[in-house]
Amino acid sequence: MPFSEDDRVDSPVSLYAATKKSNELMAAAYSKLYSIPATGLRFFTVYGPMGRPDMAYFGFTEKLRRGDTIKIFNMGDCKRDFTYVDDIVEGVRRVMDGAPEVKIGVDGLPMAAHRVYNIGNSNPENLLIFVDTLQRVLVEEGVLPADFDFEAHKQLVPMQPGDVPVTYADTGALERDFGYKPATPLEDGLREFAKWYREFYGN
């Protein structure tokens, strides 16, 4: 910890992770074969308005609104590097303006112009703190009623197969090459999500 782009990732614990690694390998191969500049981006737990409904914060909100029970994995003993969507977009914008240069190797052939960058908040948050913050801003922003009994709607369960206990982005390369470091606090980002959710879905 934290996870660096230079760490070996040859033993993925899930098919999801394996597809990410294979994508980077294919991009590197295409870059080498056809001199195509390519940059891979590793996003860390993106959240915010207009997000994916299958992500935890979105799914939790939907279930709580219906009065269902949410499952918190590994008995809540997990940490995630939650990264606000606007920070991701800004990172992508900056990286797009600086494609890697195709260079010639000592053998006289073009080298792979391929790089990989982490884009994460570099501040892992405990899952229970994340859930508590989410339910509080949902109440404060009017998505859930003020008297909502949160404790009655959560369940601590074991870890899912293929999951990891902690994610934590080392963004040193992004800061070095593009002068950028995501920094939106979790509460600010979840509040923006709650405001959007209330406006988009209504009460």
| Residues that are catalytic | 16
Contact 169, 122 (CB under 8 A): yes
| C-alpha distance from residue 20 to each of 2, 27, 39, 172, 179 (Å) | 18, 11, 13, 21, 25
Please state, in angstroms and rounded to a whole number, the distance separating the CA atoms of residues 131 and 171. 25
Reading the block at residue 102, the tokens are 């195709």
What is the DSSP code string of 96-131? HTSPPPP-B-TTSSBPP-EEEEEE--S--EEHHHHH
